[in-house]
Structure 1
Amino acid sequence: MIKTFQLHLGYVRSVLLFYLGIVAGCSGLPRSAPEVAATEEAPSVKMKNQMGMGGNPGSPFGIGVSGGYSTGSDLSAGQIRVNGRGIIPINPPKRMMMLQPSFSTTSFDVDALFDTPSEVYNIGLNMMWMERINERTMLSFGANPSITGDADSLGDNVRVFAMGMLSWQWIPNKLKLTAGAAYTGRDDIPVLPMAGLQWNPNEDWNISVILPKPKIAYRIHNIGESSTWIYFSGGLGGGTWDVLRTNGTTDEFSYTEFQAVMGIEHSTELAGRLFAELGTGFSRKLEYRETAEEQSFGNSLLLRGGWNY
C-alpha cells in the first residue's frame, strides 16, 4: 500500500490526508494523504489549514491542486493530487457536513531489485460531520472510502479511512485540546491516536501539537485579507495500494516515509492559498503484505507545493 506523501507519524498519510481533518493543507505528497491527504491534520486542524493559517472560512466550495517529489538514494517518488471541497450548512454553526472528492497519482523510480509499480492511483471521497456540542466543544466524525491501485488493479477493492475527534476550547481562541483516534486503512499502522493541543498565544503564532501532524507557524506579513506564514511541520508520508504484481497475483503495496519540512504559505481572499515546502524524508521503506517482502532506503530531499481556493 503506497502512502501519499501529504499529512503528514506526523500526515500518517490517511490521517494526515484527512487532516485529516481535511488535510490538510493539501500538501503535495501528504501521506495526505487520505491521501492525506493524507491526508492527508486533525479535522479541525486540517480544515483551518485548508482555509489558510488565518482561519478565513472563505467560500463553502473550493478546489485544490498540489504536487510533491521525494528523491534520494535508489528511490524517488512523486505525486500530483487534485481535490474539490463542498460544505453543506445543515444547521450552522451547530451542525455542518463537508465533502471532499479527490484524485491522486503517485509514481516511483526504484534502482533496487524490488518489484515496484511505476505508477499508482487513489480516488476517494472525504466526508466529515461536525457537531458543535456547546460554545467550547466540537465533535467531528469522518470517513474516506477510496479505491486504490495501479492501472491493472484500480477498482478491485475499496479502502476506508475513518476517524472520530473531540475538541475543547480550554481558553477560547487561545488554547484548544483535542483527542480522538483514526482507522487508517493501512496494514502497517491500522489505528492511529489523534491527540494534542493547538495554542495561539497571539495573532502571529499558531502552534499545533496534534498528532499525527504537528505544525508550528509564524505570520510574517499581514495586510487586510492577505497574510504570509512560515512554518515547520512533521508527518508521515506514503500510502497503501492494491497492485497487480509481475507474477499475476494481487498484493497490498505500502510506502512509508517520515517527513520534516519547512514551508511558506500566502493567503488572500481573492486568490486563495499558495504554499511551498522544502524538507527531508527518512526511515523510508517499501513493502508487500502477503509475501512479507521489505526494502529500506536512505534519506531523501522532499519538495512540495500547491494551491487551494
Structure 2
Amino acid sequence: MLTGSAMAQRVQIPATAPSTFAAPSQAPSAWGTQAGAYPAQGAVGAVGAVPPPAFDAYAPGVATPYGAPVGSPYTYTPPAGAAAPYSAAPYSAAPYSGAPAYTPYTPAPSAPGYGGWGNETAPYGWEKGTYGFESSPGTTVRFQQFLRQVRGEHTLLMGDGSSDAFELNRMELTSTLTFPVAGNIEAPLLVTPGFAFNWLDGPRSAEANVPGTVYDAYLDTAWYPRINTALGAELGFRTGVWSDFSNLDSDSLRLMGRGLGVLTVSPQMDFLLGVVYLDRIRVKMLPAGGVRWRPTPEWDLYLVFPNPKIRKRLQSVGGADWWWYLAAEYGGGSWTVERTAPAPRNDRFDYNDIRFVLGFEWESASQLRGHAEVGYVFDRELVFDSNSPERFEPDETIMFRLGLGF
C-alpha cells in the first residue's frame, strides 16, 4: 500500500503462475547430478512439451521411468503414441564398494557392500549398493552421509576344538571419506582406512600351526565413473600390511585391485565384466562378471561373481527400512607370520573359503544401519608359502556376522 499526503493508491503485483513441473525435492540418481534449476516446462501432455528431468527409475518410491513420485502433482503423462523422447526416460552420465556399496548392495555394491565389509573380494567402500544408497532422500544428503562414515563388523567362523577345526574371530573397523572428482558428487573417490583384528584358534596340528592373532591395516580406494549413458566402470585399489607384526617383510605389503567394465542396457539392467586381483599365495586373480538386474524397486539381483547377492526389500518397522538377502562370497585373507613349530621360522599363509549367506539389513531415517548374517562355510583351506605343510583343510563350519555403521 502506497500512501501520499492527500490520496492513497493501491498497487497490486500480479501473481506468477507456477510451472507445471515445479521442482520437487531431488531424488537420488545413479546417472548423475541434475545441475541447476529446473527449466519452465510446457503443459502436461502437450505435444512438444519438454519432459521433466529424469530421476532414478529403480529408486524406491518412483512410479514411472519419468521419475515422478507416487501420488505427486508432478506426474508426467506423455501424449498417446508420442515418439522419442517420450518413449523412454533420458538419463545422464553420472560405484563396485560399495557399494557400494551395502554393496545396492554395501554392495553394494555391500555394498554394498555385498559380501560384508571384511571380504577382500567384495565391492570396495559400499554397503548397500554399487550405485549408491537408494533410500537416501537426495544427492546432498547422500554426499553428507558419505563424507564421514564409521563402521564396525564382527565375524565368527565356529570351531569345535578338534584336530581338523579352525576358528576365526574377526573384528574390523573402517571409516569412509569421499572426495568429489571434477566436482561430481555422484561418482566420488571413496577413501577408506581400515584395521582388523583376527583371533585364530587352530589348527591343532603342530605342522600347520599359526599364531593366535594376525592383523589387517589397509587403505582402500574406490571409484565408479560413468563415461556415458551406456558405459561405466567399477574400479578399486587396496594396499596395506597383513601380518602378525612379528614377521614384517616385503610379502606383508599386499596390493589388491578390482576392475570391471559396466555396460548399461537400461536403467534396470547392467552387464559387468572384469577381474579381481587378490595377491594371495595360490589365488592371485579371479575373473569377475555377471549381470545386475533391478526388475522392481523391491528387488535387486546382483548376479556378479565372485560376490553375487539377491536382495529384497521387506517393509518399514519402527522408522527403519528392512531388507533380506541371499549372498555368496569367496572369503579369506593372507598374512605373514612367525611360526614356532615344528621349528621357529618366518612364513606366510593364506586362508581361503566359500560362503553361502542368509542375512537381514536395516537402515533408519538417521542413516544408522546394520546387518545380521548366518552362513555355511565350506571348501576351506590353509596354504603355506613354505609348503610345510603344503595345504591344510579345516572342517566345514557355520558363520555368524554382525555389523553396524553410521
The residue number in structure 2 matching 1:9 is none
The structure that has the greater radius of gyration is 2
Paired positions, count: 289
Q: Does residue 1:196 correspond to 2:326, yes or no?
A: no
Q: After the TM superposition, which of the residue ranges 68-77 and 252-261 deviates more from structure 2?
A: 68-77
Q: Whole-Å Cα distance in 2 between the matches of residues 43 and 134 of structure 1?
A: 22
Q: Which AA in structure 2 matches 1:39?
A: E
Within the candidate set 164, 179, 183, 2:259 is matched to: 164
1:71 CA drift (Å): 0.8
Q: After the TM superposition, which of the residue ranges 245-254 and 175-184 deviates more from structure 2?
A: 245-254
1:132 CA drift (Å): 1.8
CA separation of 1:26 and 1:90: change in aligned 2, threshold 3 A: closer
The residue number in structure 1 matching 2:49 is none
Q: Which AA in structure 2 matches 1:101?
A: P
TM-score (norm: length of structure 1): 0.83
Identity of aligned residues (%): 20
1:40 CA drift (Å): 5.1
Is the CA contact 2:124–2:220 (under 8 Å) kept in the aligned structure 1? Answer: no
The residue number in structure 1 matching 2:307 is 213
CA separation of 1:170 and 1:93: change in aligned 2, threshold 3 A: farther
CA separation of 1:26 and 1:122: change in aligned 2, threshold 3 A: farther
Q: Whole-Å Cα distance in 2 between the matches of residues 206 and 125 of structure 1?
A: 29
More strand by share: 1
Within the candidate set 295, 305, 309, 2:392 is matched to: 295
Within the candidate set 145, 150, 153, 1:66 is matched to: 153
TM-score (norm: length of structure 2): 0.64
Q: Does residue 1:112 correspond to 2:199, yes or no?
A: no
The residue number in structure 2 matching 1:281 is 377
1:94 CA drift (Å): 7.0
Indicate the SS of the match to 2:225. Answer: strand
Deviations 1:138-165 (A, max 9, x none): 2233211110111412576311101212
Indicate the SS of the match to 1:48. Answer: coil
Q: Whole-Å Cα distance in 1 between the matches of residues 115 and 279 of structure 2?
A: 10
1:271 CA drift (Å): 4.1
Indicate the SS of the match to 1:143. Answer: strand
Deviations 1:238-263 (A, max 9, x none): 11001112133221111112111100
The residue number in structure 2 matching 1:307 is 404
Is the CA contact 2:107–2:128 (under 8 Å) kept in the aligned structure 1? Answer: no
Indicate the SS of the match to 1:59. Answer: helix
CA separation of 1:281 and 1:94: change in aligned 2, threshold 3 A: closer
Q: After the TM superposition, which of the residue ranges 269-278 and 215-224 deviates more from structure 2?
A: 215-224
| Structural mapping, 1:59-208, within 5 Å | 59-73=146-160, 74-91=165-182, 92-93=184-185, 96-110=188-202, 112-113=204-205, 114-154=208-248, 157-172=252-267, 174-208=268-302
Unaligned runs of 5+ in 1: 1-16
CA separation of 1:283 and 1:112: change in aligned 2, threshold 3 A: same
Unaligned runs of 5+ in 2: 1-95
1:54 CA drift (Å): 4.2
Indicate the SS of the match to 2:181. Answer: strand
Within the candidate set 353, 356, 365, 1:260 is matched to: 356
1:41 CA drift (Å): 2.9
What root-mean-square deviation, in Å, do the aligned CA atoms of Structure 1 and Structure 2 show?
3.1
Structure with the larger RCO, 1 or 2 (CA within 8 Å, 6+ apart) = 1
1:183 CA drift (Å): 1.2
Q: Whole-Å Cα distance in 1 between the matches of residues 114 and 247 of structure 2?
A: 20
1:53 CA drift (Å): 6.6
Q: Whole-Å Cα distance in 1 between the matches of residues 134 and 154 of structure 2?
A: 20
Deviations 1:78-136 (A, max 9, x none): 10000010110122057531100000011111152121111100100001233220123
Q: After the TM superposition, which of the residue ranges 193-202 and 220-229 deviates more from structure 2?
A: 220-229
